[in-house]
Homo-oligomer: A and B are copies of this chain.
């Protein structure tokens, strides 16, 4: 029987730990606060921002969302970030992506002070991750590492094949897992659209992380018996049999892969819940560091 890596359950475990940390911080007079900025009214982005706010509420953290119109100029957005940067009550600043096309994402992400950059997207935090220094690890990679370790599949000494080289998942995850550290020290291969024979690599892996954003692309014949599979994908596909007319599937073909794998994370209920929980964890960390110096 394949082990289902339950992201919801692992996430609950981490949240219970976080509650204790938050309680300790509150006794020191610090309540961790995350402020999100949402530019425009994309429904998916609005929903993500709401979920982040609710996650804060449930943990006894503070949260705030600053909604800005689609027409917001880059300098207006920068001014808003500048204000939050200097607000000692705000520990984490998150600008919901994607931004409208007239705003330069790089300039915006660079304007968030590294010590409040709970998404881990500031170049200095990316550099610290590459260097193996203490930093805010981007939430999805951090969540994947926790899932593996807590489900009994510690990456140490394993061969991990990551499919996809995005700045949000594949690239930072590769760095995170190859350092000589606990829960890492893996031999890492990164595959992508430039890889000639994807199956050649995935069939060798002890652990596969599918993060290319293409529905059900990793199939049973691409994995070896006994491998561990983490599915980062969340692709909306039409399905007239569903009430809404669509459903979400991962980058892994669950039915065929789950017959061969030793363990697999489902979609939904796998990486998704972990990502938000790691955002909470980064915010608590930022709050703890803010008064410790």
Contact = CB atoms under 8 A, between A and B. Distances in A.
User: Copies per complex?
Assistant: 2
Nearest to A110: B124
B180 A187 contact: no
A130 interface: yes
Contacts of A187: 189-192, 194-196, 201
Contacts of A171: 130-131, 175, 178
Interface in A154-188: 156-157, 165, 167, 171-172, 174-175, 178-180, 185-188
A123 B136 CA distance: 14
A175 B123 contact: no
B186 A188 contact: no
Contact of A180 (B106, B125, B178, B194): B194
A169 to B, nearest CB: 13
B190 A165 contact: no
A127 interface: yes
A285 interface: no
A106 B133 CA distance: 10
A122 interface: yes
Q: Report the interface size class on chain A.
A: 35 or more
A224 interface: no
Contacts of A157: 194-196
Contact of A123 (B128, B167, B192, B201): B128
A218 to B, nearest CB: 16
A190 B184 CA distance: 13
A191 B187 CA distance: 5
Contacts of A172: 130
A130 B133 contact: no
A89 B137 CA distance: 38
A15 interface: no
A126 interface: yes
8 contacts: A123-B128, A123-B133, A125-B127, A127-B130, A130-B171, A165-B178, A171-B175, A178-B192
3 tightest CB-CB pairs across the interface, nearest first? A123-B127, A126-B127, A127-B127
